[in-house]
């Protein structure tokens, strides 16, 4: 059974800041729609307050996260400990997309590394935090970021 909190606590913050990978889950209202779970990395997640987070979303795959949050707002972030003590942390919230050229984009874009294929910032107001044991998560060693996305986006250019 997990432990619950209505805000991101200092121990949660420390754990999140140590992770190099996180997962984003969203779903449409329709029972016929697909649940979308996406792995994310590349230093794109930011803790903005005890109840607000954001990540820089890239062009390169579908845009289900934006579509689902536009439809119903529901979003879940999951962090797993692949090194050190076992732990799983989930952030449950209401999300929305911030697009380039808006005042919110100007406010938050500088918090992230520059990527030529940045599509939007996904913001989320967090109302529930859950931790669980993570005993079944294997141990992995981090060896670095992939260079493929940067090369792909440079090749596509601004209009691609």
If you ran DSSP here, which 8-state letter would residue 144 be given? -
Residue 157 is predicted with a pLDDT of: 67
Which residues form the domain of 134? Answer: 3-156
Number of domains in the chain: 1
Half-sphere CA count of 127, side-chain side, radius 13 A: 6
pTM tops 0.85, yes or no: yes
Half-sphere CA count of 63, side-chain side, radius 13 A: 13
Phi-psi region of 159 (alpha: psi -120 to 50; beta: other; left: phi over 0): alpha
Residue 61's pLDDT band, with cuts at 50, 70 and 90, is confident
Q: Is the pLDDT of residue 160 over 60?
A: no
Residues 83 and 105 sit within 8 Å (Cβ to Cβ) = no
Residue 150 is predicted with a pLDDT of: 65
Q: What CATH number does the domain containing 57 carry? A: 2.30.110.10
Residue 25 is predicted with a pLDDT of: 98
Q: Is the pLDDT of residue 107 over 60?
A: yes
Q: Is the pLDDT of residue 63 over 60?
A: yes
The CA distance from 80 to 124, in Å, is: 19
Q: Is the pLDDT of residue 153 over 70?
A: no
What average pLDDT does this structure show over 43-59? 97
């Amino acid at each position: 059974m997990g432990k619950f909190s209505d805000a991101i606590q200092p121990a949660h913050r420390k754990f999140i800041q140590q992770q190099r990978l996180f997962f984003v889950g969203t779903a449409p209202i329709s029972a016929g729609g697909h649940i979308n779970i996406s792995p994310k990395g590349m230093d794109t997640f930011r803790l903005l307050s005890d109840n607000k987070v954001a990540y820089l979303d890239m062009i390169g795959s579908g845009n289900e996260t934006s579509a689902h949050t536009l439809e119903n707002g529901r979003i879940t972030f999951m962090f797993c400990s692949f090194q050190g003590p076992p732990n799983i942390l989930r952030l449950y919230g209401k999300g929305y997309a911030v697009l380039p050229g808006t005042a919110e984009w100007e406010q938050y874009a500088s918090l992230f590394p520059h990527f030529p294929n940045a599509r939007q910032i996904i913001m989320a107001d967090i109302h529930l935090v859950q931790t669980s044991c993570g005993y079944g998560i294997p141990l992995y060693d981090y060896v670095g970021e992939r260079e493929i996305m940067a090369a792909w986006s440079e090749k596509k250019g601004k209009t691609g």
